Amino acid sequence: MLIHRTAIVHPEARIEPGVEVGAYSVIGRNVAIGADTNIASHVVIGENTAIGTGCKIYSHAVIGTEPQDLKYNGDISHVEIGDGVQIREFVTINRGSRKDSVTRVGDSSLLMAGVHIAHDCHVGKEVIMANLATLGGHCSIEDYAVLGGMAVVHQFVRVGKIAMVGGTSGLMQDAPPFMMVFGPAPARVVNVNNIGLKRRGVDPEVRLHLRQAFHILYRQSLSTTKAIAKIEETLPSSDELSYLLEFYRSSERGICRSKLEVAPADEGEAAQSEFPDEFTTSIPAT
């Protein structure tokens, strides 16, 4: 353990062997830091924060401070950071906003410079958030998702696993798993995240079925209910496909739509095309 003489460490903090704490960093009350974690200079770790093993936290990151929530009344709440997480310069992670609530970041995630994770967010494992990506409160970012630089996610929104959210996107509704979502608010689904699926080792046949599901959901003028029914009738079952459909069924904020889709029609209504877009027409569903 190597703690710089100018660092301030609360006597109730628990620091495991192999931890390094840089100059002028501040470690607050009820903070636990796992073995071999490196904390650079000028880092602030507020209180009630647990940080896993082998993490690297860069200068001027601020973790475990009070939530930016007018409803917060001072109750004890927490931040939990998994193992092997990289937290770059000027990242901010707020504690939960209710008693015993937790803001959580999963193992091996990368939070690039200027990322903000608001109160009560749950970020999965191996998530990448590029520079200045921002989460509103109560967001859920599932495993292996990628958020591009300056992407903004509205509170209570979910981003499904292996989803790709493009830089500067404004996410107002849930981004489905295995898909690419791009554009200013409201961001739209543009394609299947085929490269991400390959990198995660998803079987080629399953990738094909996911592309076919994309076409049914976004290119055939069907309501979501009818599209899901058609997918279940015509495509072979797989864990990935089942998960995709369950994500659609369980969404509370609604799912991002496509700029190319023909708007799903209610019973007896004519469908109308909306938001024609040259960018998305140039991206084939492959």
Residues marked active site are found at 119-120, 137
d(CA 125, CA 110): 9
Q: Which of left, alpha, beta for 102 (phi over 0: left; psi -120 to 50: alpha)? A: beta
Single out the residue of 117, 111, 138, 135 nearest to residue 57, CA to CA: 111
Residue 186 · residue 173 · CB < 8 Å: yes
d(CA 7, CA 22): 7
Single out the residue of 90, 243, 234 nearest to residue 178, CA to CA: 243
d(CA 119, CA 145): 19
3-class secondary structure, 69: coil
DSSP 128-157: EE-TT-EE-TT-EE-TT-EE-TT-EE-TT-
d(CA 218, CA 25): 50
**Cβ-count burial of 53 within 10 angstroms (0-12 exposed, 13-18 middle, 19+ buried)?**
middle
- In sequence order, the 6+-apart residues with CB closer than 8 A to the CB of 246 are none
